[in-house]
């Protein structure tokens, strides 16, 4: 079978280094008129359009002034909460009990789970997100629904059954043994199928007994190539609760570590109120931390110390945390991250924001060799961003003196209207 070659023309954005570690000018390559060659699901080359070798039978697609970049990577979210996004007025524990748990109970119905998975991926793709690491619910069918939908769209996607055996309604509780058995069966069914990855998923220490944490630690030890995701130190009340539930633990992180749930393939959501010991341990292990800024303001959790964490050498990604987060858009998420960084007196540069939403998140998922950057050899999951998608943005970007002045108004004011095109696995996706 002949494979099609595509040449995409437009501005291009690629990273060669982490813009928190070197000056952003040295970390980024921008072509004002670039060409991206795509074949067999991969990016073959990225370079100036005027020096590209055009294969005779290639399909050329000219995106004009739009920005061709890697698709967004959302490193922490809850697809089952799609239907309750933006629910008013509660802090974390009340928010879980009032809105989240009743909705997650509904995903016991496989048809409803399938409907929500479809709705979630429609929204994610229309916002330019091409890889998502989601929590499912405790129901194995919710994992099946997510992976089935992602697979049908050719997406690289990750999820796991959320495990809870205490402090949750009866309808949402498993046991230490069933969490192990169900997670193992799902892992064996899905992990490595096409572009899918199973992720071991204890929700957080308050909803797992030590026995359940140990069982999942044992499962992870048997499958060390899997990621493990959970939450840590999101709100002060939650941290105090963990202290009550685990009186012998040195701190919140210790509740995971003593049960075999700490390693470089661990992905910790939020990580706002860490102790010095926890920070040092997380950095030494090389675990991933995920900043969820719209969630942290929406649920009133606090401000993640991005500048300090990155200066420490932590591995950090960015995420919507839908539906604790109030948006499906990684643009909106970058805007919130910028605003929080301003409150800390350390404003993030647009090159750093874009890096967090692509390369940074991919590195937290240990997928930085495959996705999250526009470079030869990477999987062709691409976003084409319209930098003049609304009148307000257009009039601002018209004045831009450089690419970052042109991009920043879209970061701050953009939404799904800025998504001009999305490519998944080397093919144009329906958005």
- Kindly provide the residue ranges of all beta strands, DSSP E only, lying in 50-111, ordered along the sequence: 59-70, 72-78
Sign of CA dihedral 110, 230, 103, 168: positive
Q: State the minimum distance, in angstroms, from the CB of residue 96 to ligand GUN.
A: 6
For 264-286, give the DSSP string. TTEEEEE--S--HHHHHHHHHHT
Residue 141 Cβ vs ligand GUN, minimum distance, rounded to whole Å: 19
- Contact letters (x/-) for ligand GUN, 193-212, by CB under 6 A? ----------xx--------
Contact segment (CB under 5 A) with Zn ion among 124-132, 146-154, 267-275, 391-399 equals 267-275
d(CA 344, CA 307): 9
State in angstroms the smallest separation of the CB of 414 from ligand GUN: 24
Site string for ligand GUN, 46-85 (x = CB under 6 A): --------------------------------x-------
Smaller CB distance to ligand GUN: residue 8 or 216?
Answer: 216
Q: Which is nearer to ligand GUN, 92 or 145 (CB)?
A: 92
The smaller minimum CB distance to ligand GUN, of residues 324 and 372, is found at 324
H/E stretch holding 403 reads: helix 403-413
Q: Which of the ranges 4-12, 172-180, 237-245, 315-323 carries the binding residues for Zn ion, by CB under 5 A?
A: 315-323
Q: Which two tokens stand for residue 411?
A: 């970061």
The interface with ligand GUN within residues 272-301 (CB under 6 A) comprises: 295, 299
CA angle 93, 96, 99 (to 5 degrees): 135
**Partner from Zn ion, ligand GUN, none binding residue 208, C-beta < 5-8 Å depending on class:** none
Residue 238 or 321 having the CB closest to Zn ion: 321
Q: Which of ligand GUN, Zn ion, none lies near 203, with the C-beta cut-off 5 to 8 A by kind?
A: ligand GUN
Q: Please give the radius of gyration of the chain, using alpha carbons only, rounded to the nearest integer.
A: 21
Least distance between Zn ion and beta carbon 322 (Å): 9
CB atoms within 10 A of CB 108: 15
- Residue 360 in the binding site for Zn ion (CB under 5 A): no
- Helices 330-343 and 403-413: crossing angle in degrees, nearest 10, is 100
Which of ligand GUN, Zn ion, none does 156 bind, CB closer than 5 to 8 A by kind?
A: none
Q: Is 324 in the site for ligand GUN (CB under 6 A)?
A: yes
Cβ of residue 26: shortest distance to Zn ion, in angstroms? 34
Size of the site for ligand GUN (CB under 6 A): 12
By CB under 5 A, residue 269 contacts Zn ion: yes
139 vs 184 by CB, closer to Zn ion: 139
Q: Which stretch binds ligand GUN (CB under 6 A): 41-49, 92-100, 192-200, 393-401?
A: 92-100
Give Cβ neighbours of residue 23 (< 8 Å, ≥ 6 apart). none
Residue 139 binds which entry of Zn ion, ligand GUN, none, with Cβ cut-offs from 5 to 8 Å by kind? none
Rounded least distance, CB 391 to Zn ion, Å:
35
Residue 231 binding ligand GUN, by CB under 6 A: yes
Closer CB to Zn ion, residue 251 or residue 321?
Answer: 321
Nearest distance from C-beta of residue 291 to ligand GUN, angstroms: 12
Residues, the chain:
431
Indicate the burial class of 325 (C-beta count within 10 angstroms; 0-12, 13-18, 19 or more). Answer: buried
CA 109 to chain centre: 26
Counting contacts by CB under 6 A, is residue 233 touching ligand GUN?
Answer: no
Separation in Å, CA 105 to CA 85, 123, 198? 16, 22, 21
Q: Is 18 left (phi over 0), alpha (psi -120 to 50) or beta?
A: beta
What residue 291 binds from Zn ion, ligand GUN, none (CB within 5 to 8 A, per partner kind)? none
Q: Which is nearer to ligand GUN, 71 or 323 (CB)?
A: 323
| Burial of 218: CB neighbours in 10 Å, binned 0-12, 13-18, 19+ | middle
Residue sitting closest to ligand GUN (CB)? 324
Catalogue the long-range contacts made by 123-127 (C-beta closer than 8 Å, 24 or more residues apart).
Answer: 123/82, 123/328, 124/74, 124/328, 125/153, 125/422, 125/424, 125/429, 125/430, 125/431, 126/416, 126/419, 126/431, 127/72, 127/328, 127/329, 127/330, 127/331, 127/415, 127/416, 127/419
Cβ-contact 139, 116 below 8 angstroms: no
Cα–Cα distance, 320 to 267 (Å, whole number): 14
Residue 288 binds which of ligand GUN, Zn ion, none (CB < 5-8 A, kind-dependent)? none
Residues in contact with Zn ion by the rule CB under 5 A: 269, 321
Q: Residue numbers of the site for ligand GUN (CB under 6 A)?
A: 78, 92, 96, 100, 203-204, 231, 234, 295, 299, 321, 324
């Amino acid at each position: 079978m002949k494979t099609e070659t595509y040449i995409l023309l437009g501005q291009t954005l690629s990273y060669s280094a982490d813009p928190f570690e070197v000056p952003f000018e040295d970390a980024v390559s921008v072509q004002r008129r670039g060409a991206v060659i795509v074949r067999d699901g991969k990016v073959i080359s990225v370079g100036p359009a005027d020096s590209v070798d055009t294969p005779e039978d290639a399909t050329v697609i000219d995106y004009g002034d739009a920005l061709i970049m890697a698709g967004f990577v959302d490193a922490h979210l809850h697809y089952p909460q799609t239907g309750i996004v933006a629910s008013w007025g509660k802090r974390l524990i009340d928010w879980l009990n009032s809105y989240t748990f009743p909705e997650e109970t509904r995903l016991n119905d496989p048809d409803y789970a399938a409907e929500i998975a479809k709705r979630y991926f429609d929204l994610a793709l229309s916002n330019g997100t091409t890889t998502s690491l989601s929590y499912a619910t405790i129901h194995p069918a919710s994992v099946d629904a997510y992976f089935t939908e992602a697979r049908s769209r050719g997406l690289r996607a990750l999820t796991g059954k959320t495990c809870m055996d205490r402090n949750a309604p009866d309808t949402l509780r498993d046991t230490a043994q069933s969490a192990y058995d169900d997670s193992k069966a799902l892992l064996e069914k899905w992990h490595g199928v096409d572009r899918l990855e199973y992720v071991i998923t204890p929700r957080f220490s308050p909803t797992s007994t030590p026995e359940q944490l140990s069982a999942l630690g044992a499962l992870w030890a048997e499958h060390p190539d899997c990621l493990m995701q959970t939450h840590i130190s999101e709100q002060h009340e939650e941290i105090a609760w963990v202290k009550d539930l685990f009186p012998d633990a040195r701190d919140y992180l210790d509740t995971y570590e003593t049960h075999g749930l700490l390693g470089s393939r661990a992905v910790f959501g939020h990580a706002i109120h860490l102790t010095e010991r926890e920070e040092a341990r997380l950095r030494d292990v090389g675990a991933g931390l995920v900043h969820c800024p719209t969630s942290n303001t929406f649920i009133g959790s606090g401000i993640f110390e991005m500048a300090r964490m990155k200066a420490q050498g932590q591995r950090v990604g960015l995420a919507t945390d839908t539906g604790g987060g109030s948006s499906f858009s990684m643009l909106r998420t970058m805007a919130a991250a910028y605003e929080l960084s301003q409150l800390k007196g350390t404003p993030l540069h647009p090159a750093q924001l874009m890096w967090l939403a692509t390369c940074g998140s991919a590195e937290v998922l240990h997928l930085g060799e495959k996705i999250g950057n526009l470079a030869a050899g990477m999987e062709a999951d691409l976003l084409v961003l319209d930098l003049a998608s609304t009148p307000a943005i257009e009039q601002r970007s018209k004045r831009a003196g450089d690419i970052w002045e042109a991009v920043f108004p879209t970061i701050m004011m953009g939404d799904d209207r800025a998504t001009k095109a999305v490519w998944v696995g080397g093919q144009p996706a329906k958005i």
